[in-house]
Amino acid sequence: MGLAKRIIPCLDVKDGKTVKGTNFIHLRTAGAPVELGKAYSEAGADELVFLDITASYEERKTFTEMVTRVASEINIPFTVGGGINELADVERLLLAGADKVSINSAAFRNPSLIDNIAKRFGSQVCVCALDARFDEGRWYCYVKGGRERTEYELFERAHEMQERGAGEILFTSMNHDGVKSGYANEALAKMTDILSIPVIASGGAGSKEHFKDVFNIGHADAALAASVFHFGEIDIKELKQYLREENINIRL
């Protein structure tokens, strides 16, 4: 059956609170990140992702205090992203207790950062996040929390990141983000076909069936979601039981 598929709640953090938007805008508060993280850990989540969503835009560092508190409260792997620009940022977050770091805007400004993280800490530490929107017939990558479009094409960029040493790709479809109509399964299937490293799907979860489809049709290795978990629309234990009943290899 291969490696077990993973369910990953994502906590977007702004000003110390967990927030969630639609298409990267219209943010609403969802609770305290440390407490939510602990609840998800106890509910059976496989991993967590914490993203300081305005760190790159506001050019400030991700807070390490929250990372330290999270590490003391949970017993599953977690990834931290936002405002990571150099190896010293990675080291600081790993020492605070993070298992992996997610880089996005910095990897466009300085692609060699991927190489350097992989060489210094190992590929397993480096998650490369790609926010992309389907515009005018192609997938364009965006940076700075979805505020700025680049001319980079999604699949070429994902392959380059893999070749530089990324351990995983976290692909968020901005078209699907918060809409709850399902993941970008066609693009995900293409990406998983091109890459040999795991792909985490993000953007579009609205039902248990969407998780089934992202694994069966999108061939994703992990499914990340936010609002359906934050606002109690889908229970993680029930979701994982459903997926097991649908013959998807998942840890209960």
Q: Which residues are catalytic?
A: 12, 131
Looking at 77-190, which runs of residues are DSSP E strands?
A: 78-81, 100-103, 126-135, 138-143, 148-153, 168-173
- Spatial separation of the C-alpha atoms in residues 113 and 1, rounded to whole Å: 34
**Taking the mean position of all CA atoms in its chain, how far away is CA 38?**
18
CB atoms inside a 10 Å sphere around CB 144: 17
Strand partners, 18: 13, 31
- Spatial separation of the C-alpha atoms in residues 58 and 188, rounded to whole Å: 30
CB atoms inside a 10 Å sphere around CB 209: 12
Which tokens hold the place of 243?
């997926």
Cβ neighbours for 80, distance < 8 A, ≥ 6 positions apart: 49, 50, 51, 52, 62, 67, 93, 98, 100, 101, 102
From residue 176, how far is each of 90, 134, 241 by CA, in Å? 29, 10, 25
